[in-house]
Structure 1
Amino acid sequence: MTFIALLQSIPPLAVYVVIGLLVGVESIGVPVPGETALITGSVLSTRPELHISGMWVAVAAFIGAVIGDSIGYSVGWHYGPALLDRLAARFPRHITADRIAYADHLFDRYGTGTVFVGRFIALLRMFAGPLAGTLRLAYPRFLMANAAGAACWAGGIAVVVQLVGTAADRYLKEASWGLLLVLLLVGLLVGRVVGRSFERRVEAYAAERLAESGESE
């Protein structure tokens, strides 16, 4: 059963819970498809027969993001680098020393601005809470940036999907469902492109650090 089929087969309330949980778990630092869940839920909300509310999809994602990041912050505050080491050992394909070092660099340079922008970048979404806690950023500032980023991210995706879905249903009728599936794929592709761009920055930063360490020897 595909993820779309799963969400179609459960009651709307359960859809919101699943989306909130996936976004929350991702925000703690575990690589699960939180953004995919948000996009999928938003796409399904454009189908009236499913009785899924786009607004509640966004609210569920927002709540999951704020709570998940706050849990990640708390764990990072208490366990610090040990948490990141454990996550890296558990998810070596997603969490590497170079990615952590680059994210640490961004926090050191931009502070809570990294929390806001990181909500839109998959890898930073996972690191934001734990790193903010590890680096002892003031929680009120972190919470404000976290909530603002989550609201723009969840609300922005839901609104765009709703607008496109409404237009598709009005003007294309039978083709609207196919168009929305295309929109889902485009959203995932954009996420991949942004992720690749982030990876190139990680590699460049790692190379720069390596060069600096070689010069200092």
Structure 2
Amino acid sequence: MSIEHLIEHYGIIAIFLGTAFEGETAAFLGGIISHRGLLTYWSASLMASAGSFAGDQMWFFAGRYASRWHVVRRLMETPTLAQVTSLLERYPTGFILAFRFLVGLRTISPIVIGTTRISTGKFVMLNAIAALVWGQLFTALGYLFGHGIEHILGRLPLHHHLFVGLGAAAIVAGAALVFRRAFRKVSANAS
């Protein structure tokens, strides 16, 4: 059984689960796979949006209804919590629309939001809008990256294409973390 066969049959499920539990890398790879023609762009991007939406809803409900569970309490005690809570209190709607784009805050944010008085209906609506934008953006980046790699290096075998995509996603994620840490240091020194 080839990797192409597996992707054609299970790629949509993998994108959904990957974006629900991991995020950007799964959506990005979905774009690369759709560029290769194994899945349509719209199926990959909509599944990325659906997975992101479902994962964030799960964490929101964990904050809302399972805040006494040990796992949830442990997540709530992380140092990132103060930063998330501060942003959420100042800009509730903007924060709900933006948290999935903030590196390192994606999992903890919906839990924190679930512990607040923000209504479930408001969160569902804003989460759906943000997930739709997020899924389209990261899948499109993967699609364009696949096109660029093919333009520069020619049509690589799929497994090479995916490894290059994973490497690029890792570099972007690493750069975002370095930038975030540097920004925190500058902010702390300015205070």
In the superposition, relative to structure 1, how do residues 36 and 161 fare at CA in structure 2: closer, same or farther (>3 Å)?
A: closer
Q: 1:22 aligns with which of 18, 24, 36?
A: 18
Residue 65 (1) aligns with residue 39 (2): no
Structure 2 contact 29–142 (Cα < 8 Å) conserved: no
Question: How many Å apart are 1:179 and its aligned residue?
Answer: 7.1
Residue 113 (1) aligns with residue 109 (2): no
Residue 77 (1) aligns with residue 64 (2): yes
In the superposition, relative to structure 1, how do residues 98 and 119 fare at CA in structure 2: closer, same or farther (>3 Å)?
A: same
Alpha-carbon separation, structure 2, partners of 1:174 and 1:77:
48
Structure 1 contact 121–194 (Cα < 8 Å) conserved: no
Question: How many Å apart are 1:104 and its aligned residue?
Answer: 1.4
| Greater relative contact order (Cα < 8 A, sep 6+) | 2
Residue 145 (1) aligns with residue 126 (2): yes
Q: Write the mapping of 1:25-104 to structure 2, written as runs, cut at 5 A.
A: 26=21, 33-48=22-37, 51-80=38-67, 82=69, 83-87=71-75, 97-104=78-85
Q: 2:117 aligns with which of 130, 136, 146?
A: 136
In the superposition, relative to structure 1, how do residues 167 and 97 fare at CA in structure 2: closer, same or farther (>3 Å)?
A: closer
Alpha-carbon separation, structure 2, partners of 1:115 and 1:174:
39
What secondary structure does 2:35 align onto? coil
Q: 2:143 aligns with which of 162, 170, 177?
A: 162
Alpha-carbon separation, structure 2, partners of 1:110 and 1:197:
22
What secondary structure does 2:83 align onto? helix
Comparing 172-181 and 36-45, the one that deviates more = 172-181
What secondary structure does 1:193 align onto? helix
In the superposition, relative to structure 1, how do residues 77 and 9 fare at CA in structure 2: closer, same or farther (>3 Å)?
A: same
Alpha-carbon separation, structure 2, partners of 1:35 and 1:175:
22
In the superposition, relative to structure 1, how do residues 183 and 80 fare at CA in structure 2: closer, same or farther (>3 Å)?
A: same
Alpha-carbon separation, structure 1, partners of 2:119 and 2:170:
33
Alpha-carbon separation, structure 2, partners of 1:176 and 1:196:
32
Question: How many Å apart are 1:99 and its aligned residue?
Answer: 0.9
Alpha-carbon separation, structure 2, partners of 1:21 and 1:174:
28
| Identical positions, percent | 23
Q: TM-score, normalised by structure 2?
A: 0.78
In the alignment, structure 1 segments of 5+ residues that lack a partner are 1-5, 27-32, 89-95, 212-217
RMSD between superposed Cα atoms in Å = 3.2
Residue 187 (1) aligns with residue 174 (2): no
Q: TM-score, normalised by structure 1?
A: 0.70
Question: How many Å apart are 1:108 and its aligned residue?
Answer: 1.2
Structure 1 contact 42–54 (Cα < 8 Å) conserved: yes
Alpha-carbon separation, structure 2, partners of 1:197 and 1:110:
22
In the alignment, structure 2 segments of 5+ residues that lack a partner are none
Comparing 107-116 and 161-170, the one that deviates more = 161-170
Structure 1 contact 7–15 (Cα < 8 Å) conserved: no
Aligned residues: 187
